[in-house]
Amino acid sequence: MEVRRVRREPILALRDLQGNILPGFRKDRQHFVFFRIEDASAARRWLASLADRISSGDEVLHAHRTWKASRMRLGREPDNAHFLFLNLALSAGGLAKLLTTAELDEFDDDAFKVGLAARSVYIGDPKTEGDPGHAASWKFGGPGKPVDLLAILASDDRPWVEEETASLVTAGDQHGLAHVHTDVGDVARSPSPGHEQFGFRDGISELAIRGRHPEPPHEFVVPRSIPKGKGFEEVRKQFATPSKRLVWPGNVLFGYPRQDPNDPTQGVATDFPAGPKWAANGSYLVYRRLRQDVEGFRRFLAETAASLQQSLGPDAPQPDKLAAMLVGRWPSGTPFIRSPGADAKIAGEAANYFGFDGPLGPPLPGDPAPPGAPDPNGRIVPLASHIRKSNPRDLGTDIGPATRTPPRLLVRRGITYADGEGPDADRGLLFVAYQSSIQNQFEFLMRTWINNPDRPEPQAGHDPILVQRPGGTALLRLAGTELRIPLPGGLVIPTGGEYFFAPSVSFFERRLRG
Amino acid sequence: MPVFEPTAGTHEFDAVPGLREAWSRFIADAFESNLYGAKDSAHSLLLRWGYSDVDLRFYNPASMPIVAGSKPANVFWPALPTSYDGDFGGKKKKLYEYLDAPQKENGVRSRVQDEYCEWVVERDASGKAVRILFTCEPPEFYDFLYRDPYGVGKAKTRALLLSLYRDRCGTPDVALKELEAGKGSKRAYDPYNSWNAKHCVHMQQGANTLFAEINIVAIAGLLRRKGQKVLTDAQALIDCGRYGEPKRQSDPKIGATINQLARENRFFTLENPVGLYMTGLNTAGWSVAGHPELDPQSLWKVRKGTPDADPARSMIVRAELVSPPGLTLSDVLIGGVPIRYGAQVAEQIQMRVGVLVSEPQAQLPPPHAIGCRDANPPVPPPAAPAPGRGNR
Ligand code: HEM
């Protein structure tokens, strides 16, 4: 087959793709409502009738613009410029009920077709039934608890999203669906808004989908703001803003070219995510309900810091610094590599302006903090730290040069949750990620990097945040020595989840109606 | 005393007196030609840029003792190639069919699996996979026995060649002439012979060779610059140094790792026995349909080399995945997905190459960096030595 490449970024069908993929809901309150389809033809009719209510990328972009304009005008967050967004996604089991299996088979991704529970051990979850995190104990999505449909309702207006959830559940009930579970994501149910339960700012490093608006003058959907000056040429080619690395739409959306793994500035016009015709403008959605053991995390840090103290004396990091090393960022989001002594509070776009092989380019205007030294051996930021394991950035990896990494990354849309109060509350992260290949993206990161002690970097050890199996270790290169710290495993465990496909709006309008 | 052990440290060569020594010389010569050969060696490149062998950090342990305090280090990569990922319209099934089958390239039919690991799938009458053979043995090992370049005695080395083939192919029927190609004085060992094609005796993809491995390490061990900027990026380095295959996963990563060692002013050499090794098969999340009691790892049979729980020490060069008793490999599930292609299994195999690395040599100035395009006539070296990068 002849391989063709393109450089001009394609027009994105913003009215057709769901808005949580692009630009993302970014709402404080998000309900994830899971259903099982009991009566396929009733469900099909009902879902088709919901087409008009699905919030497209275009609508969400407009809403964000309106909200921002209000904030500008008021000088504070508006309290009446609220929106309520709705998105829908179907699991393979759900699609099989609504369509033919032949159509489902056209999807290339085997992981999607067999579903998350069948892949659970493969991506690092416990294999023994009874162990915390095993699929048999999940609230939904595990054996005997299949889910077919996920509805995401999002708003900053809490009562509104609650009302809408209740009426959606009732309507589902009347149209052949059974409500299985609802997860309530709430940025307020966390140590502080925008921070996950261990206390670290999240949602800093993002993927920006390349592409243009459907209307003239066909501006870039994700605006570009890398300085024009000298020295920024390479950064400008690969980033929309310092926090947003550009990726060709085919690595997230069906129907578009994928990124050339050897040249991030081009797409491969002959390499598309494979699926049925109607899959265009859709995206796989990985959903994991991840419970975090906040107490356990603190204990692990205190114990490890104490034992490091014994071996290193005054060179040993205190628990808060150790935590920052293991995440790769300070709680504020400040990248550890740029601020290894203490948190220099690097905020905004600058918080993502760094590489592990040295600075990405000249300093950003208004970013006086030191750029960070090259750290290929992990003497500053441990090779096992969460952000190095999940994105080694400018360093080559076991799969080749650094250009191979962005096509493996995810559009992350997670939000914190907490059920109950106090130390025993069930709290964690509702992990939501979009991509066009679950096997090459989410699962690759989980199995090949996060849970493999020798990849992407030999000897690194396991991701201290995400490793579940006991017996893991992480390598620290500190004060001229090498140490391996034992990891408890299971600080983050899955308690539910499934692989979904978030189809286009027209799938509901036409394919389901058809 | 031979310096270099046979690949994977096996004892097959013991059958012929003098063969171990000959192999050691063979490897030592490969080091020498890549380091000091007249053309395109590391040294010849340095000369062309006006430098000398003082700037070499890769060395031949047959001509220089192992630097004191050296420690082993490894580069790992997956056995499943990604070079062809973009060629099949995103259809994995087509990609895997392509990778599993030999393809005609440059007039010969050969396996195209290009990550220093090759495989052959055996299927039953209904087309189900029943056994998958994997090899990362270099062709040089077999060609060496055929050619007997150091005069140990062709009759004996070829007899050994035949007996190894018969063992790998499980039949006494292999004849020497079936392993040869060409006529008259051109008659030579044929890595594409039908027995190798069918039984995956050793690697045959054009660049899956020991020589390539040594060459990459030799050439990638030279610092490179563009203008005065010393290169560190894997892609920039392989584009500049033109070693190996840039589209692979292994070569750019091996090159970048080696180059970093040189930038850190360390001496390094290849692990002995020199080889490219499978470290093992990751069967976490595998199962056998209907047989929860079966451990899928038990289906992985190492046929040559030594597995080790520590991937950094594992030296597997030949292995196979066999069917569970009374079943086929389509009953073996990887994360719930039945095995249909060898490529699915290759994805779960990890490869490695080992090096021995010294501490940074504080007493020596850092090596000079050379440019990318050959200087001819030689350009004078830049005034100041290029600074090394990397924090220590
Ligand atoms: C409860 C579980 C998790 C916690 C507490 C957590 C925490 C964090 C934090 C604090 C960051 C840094 C903020 C940022 O750069 O945006 C981050 C980044 C990231 N996480 Fe997680 N995470 C979790 C689960 C996961 C999972 C399951 C994955 C799946 C592969 C993942 C992949 C990533 C990626 C790709 C990044 C961005 C890295 C970068 O581009 O620098 N995380 N995570």
CB contact under 8 A, A272 and B253: no
- For the question of an ipTM over 0.90, the answer is yes
- Model pLDDT, residue A197: 98
Mean pLDDT, rounded, for A124-140: 97
- In this structure, are residues A226 and B199 in contact, taking their beta carbons and an 8 Å threshold? no
* β-pairing verdict for B229-230 and B286-288: unpaired
Which H or E element spans position B109?
Answer: strand B108-110
> B230 phi and psi, to 5 degrees?
-75, 130
| CA–CA separation, A457 and A469 (whole Å) | 20
CA distances (Å), B373 to each of B48, B224, B262, in order?
A: 11, 10, 20
Output the CA torsion A11→A14→A18→A23 (10° steps): 90
Q: With a 6 A CB cut-off, is A463 part of the ligand 1 pocket?
A: no
| CA–CA separation, A452 and A197 (whole Å) | 25
Mean pLDDT, rounded, for B140-146: 98
| Number of domains chain B contains | 1
CB contact under 8 A, B336 and A114: yes
Q: Which of A20-24, A389-393, B373-377 is predicted with the least confidence, judged by mean pLDDT? A: B373-377
Mean pLDDT, rounded, for A129-140: 97
Task: Give me the residue from B89, B248, B252 closest to A1, CB to CB.
Answer: B89
What confidence category does residue B380 fall into, taking pLDDT thresholds of 50, 70 and 90?
Answer: low
Q: Which residues of A touch B350 (CB under 8 A)?
A: 454-455
- Model pLDDT, residue B390: 33
- Model pLDDT, residue A466: 98
Q: Which residues of A touch B252 (CB under 8 A)?
A: 396, 400-401
pLDDT in tens, B150-196: 999 999 999 999 999 999 999 999 999 999 999 999 999 999 999 99
Beta carbons within 8 Å of A131's beta carbon, 6+ residues apart: none
pLDDT in tens, A139-193: 999 999 999 999 999 999 999 999 999 999 999 999 999 999 999 999 999 999 9
Task: Give me the residue from B90, B93, B252 closest to A271, CB to CB.
Answer: B90
- In this structure, are residues A488 and A292 in contact, taking their beta carbons and an 8 Å threshold? no
* β-pairing verdict for B129-135 and B118-123: antiparallel
- Model pLDDT, residue B392: 29
pLDDT in tens, A342-398: 999 999 999 999 999 999 999 999 998 999 999 999 999 999 999 999 999 999 999
CB contact under 8 A, A398 and B93: no
Residue B143 lies in a domain: no
Q: CA B79: distance to chain centroid? A: 11
H runs (alpha helix) in chain B: 19-36, 42-48, 92-100, 139-147, 154-169, 194-199, 210-220, 234-241, 250-263, 342-346
CB contact under 8 A, B284 and A124: yes
Q: How many CB pairs under 8 A join A and B?
A: 143
Atom 31 (ligand 1) nearest CA: A390
- Model pLDDT, residue A40: 97
Q: With a 6 A CB cut-off, is A445 part of the ligand 1 pocket?
A: yes
- In this structure, are residues A395 and A376 in contact, taking their beta carbons and an 8 Å threshold? yes
| CA–CA separation, B343 and B98 (whole Å) | 10
Mean pLDDT, rounded, for B349-375: 94
Which H or E element spans position A297?
Answer: helix A294-312
Give the N- to C-terminal CA distance of chain A in Å, as an integer. 34
Residue B160 lies in a domain: no
In angstroms, the separation between the Cα of residue B55 and the nearest Cα of chain A is: 22
Q: Is the pLDDT of residue A60 over 90?
A: yes
Q: Give distance in angstroms: CA of A414 to centre of ligand 1.
A: 9
A290 CA closest ligand 1 atom index: 1
Atom 38 (ligand 1) nearest CA: A387
- Model pLDDT, residue B376: 56
Q: Residue B188: how many CA atoms within 13 Å on its side-chain side?
A: 9
CB contact under 8 A, A108 and B90: yes
pLDDT in tens, B26-39: 999 999 999 999 98
Triad A472, A307, A190: Cα angle to 5°: 65
Q: Is B387 on the interface with A (CB under 8 A)?
A: no
What confidence category does residue A1 fall into, taking pLDDT thresholds of 50, 70 and 90?
Answer: low
In angstroms, the separation between the Cα of residue A376 and the nearest Cα of chain B is: 7
- Model pLDDT, residue B379: 53
- Model pLDDT, residue B391: 32
Residue B189 lies in a domain: no
| CA–CA separation, A119 and A473 (whole Å) | 24
pLDDT in tens, A209-259: 999 999 999 999 999 999 999 999 999 999 999 999 999 999 999 999 999
Q: Give distance in angstroms: CA of A410 to centre of ligand 1.
A: 10
Question: In this prediction, what percent of chain A has a pLDDT beyond 90?
Answer: 95
Residue B157 lies in a domain: no
CB contact under 8 A, A454 and B312: yes
Tokens (6 digits) for A360: 């990405």
Q: Give distance in angstroms: CA of A185 to centre of ligand 1.
A: 17
**Cis amide leading into B172 (omega within 30):** no
Strand partners for A174: none
Single-letter amino acid, residue B215:
N
Mean pLDDT, rounded, for B109-126: 98
| CA–CA separation, A348 and A264 (whole Å) | 25
- Model pLDDT, residue B373: 81
Task: Give me the residue from B87, B235, B284 closest to A401, CB to CB.
Answer: B235
Task: Give me the residue from B75, B82, B390 closest to A376, CB to CB.
Answer: B390
- Model pLDDT, residue A424: 86
Q: CA B96: distance to chain centroid? A: 21
pTM, entire model: 0.96
- Model pLDDT, residue B384: 44
Atom 9 (ligand 1) nearest CA: A202
Q: Is the pLDDT of residue A423 over 90?
A: no
Q: With a 6 A CB cut-off, is A386 part of the ligand 1 pocket?
A: yes
Q: A348: phi > 0 → left, psi -120 to 50 → alpha, else beta; which?
A: left
| CA–CA separation, B249 and B270 (whole Å) | 19
Angle between helical axes of B139-147 and B154-169 (0-180°, round to 10): 140
- Model pLDDT, residue B207: 94
Mean pLDDT, rounded, for B197-210: 97
Q: Give distance in angstroms: CA of A396 to centre of ligand 1.
A: 20
Find the residue in A nearest to B82 (Cα). A399
Residue B154 lies in a domain: no
In angstroms, the separation between the Cα of residue A4 and the nearest Cα of chain B is: 9
pLDDT in tens, A471-502: 999 999 998 899 999 999 999 999 999 999 99
- Model pLDDT, residue A210: 98
Q: Is B346 on the interface with A (CB under 8 A)?
A: no
What confidence category does residue B1 fall into, taking pLDDT thresholds of 50, 70 and 90?
Answer: low
What single string gives the DSSP state of each residue in A311-331?
HHGGGSPPHHHHHHHHHTB-T
Find the residue in A nearest to B349 (Cα). A448
Residue position matching structure tokens 């952000």: A387
Residue B242 lies in a domain: yes
> A160 phi and psi, to 5 degrees?
-65, -45
Q: B4: phi > 0 → left, psi -120 to 50 → alpha, else beta; which?
A: beta
> B218 phi and psi, to 5 degrees?
-65, -50
Residue B175 lies in a domain: no
CB contact under 8 A, B253 and A396: yes
Mean pLDDT, rounded, for B304-331: 97
Q: Can you give the residue range of the structural domain that contains B260?
A: 1-138+203-392
pLDDT in tens, B49-86: 999 999 999 999 999 999 999 999 999 999 999 999 99
Q: With a 6 A CB cut-off, is A405 part of the ligand 1 pocket?
A: no
- Model pLDDT, residue B389: 36
Mean pLDDT, rounded, for A435-456: 98
CB contact under 8 A, A402 and B234: yes
Which H or E element spans position B183?
Answer: none
Query: Candidates A412, A430, A442: which one to mutate for ligand 1, based on the most atoms within 8 Å of Cβ?
Result: A412
For the beta carbon of residue B102, count every other beta carbon within 10 angstroms.
18
What single string gives the DSSP state of each residue in A243-254?
TEEEE-GGGTST
CA B209, B212, B218, B220 torsion-angle sign: negative
In angstroms, the separation between the Cα of residue A177 and the nearest Cα of chain B is: 27
pLDDT in tens, A87-126: 999 999 999 999 998 999 999 999 999 999 999 999 999 9
Q: Which residues of B touch A118 (CB under 8 A)?
A: 335-336
The per-residue pLDDT of chain B, averaged, comes to 94
- Model pLDDT, residue B388: 37
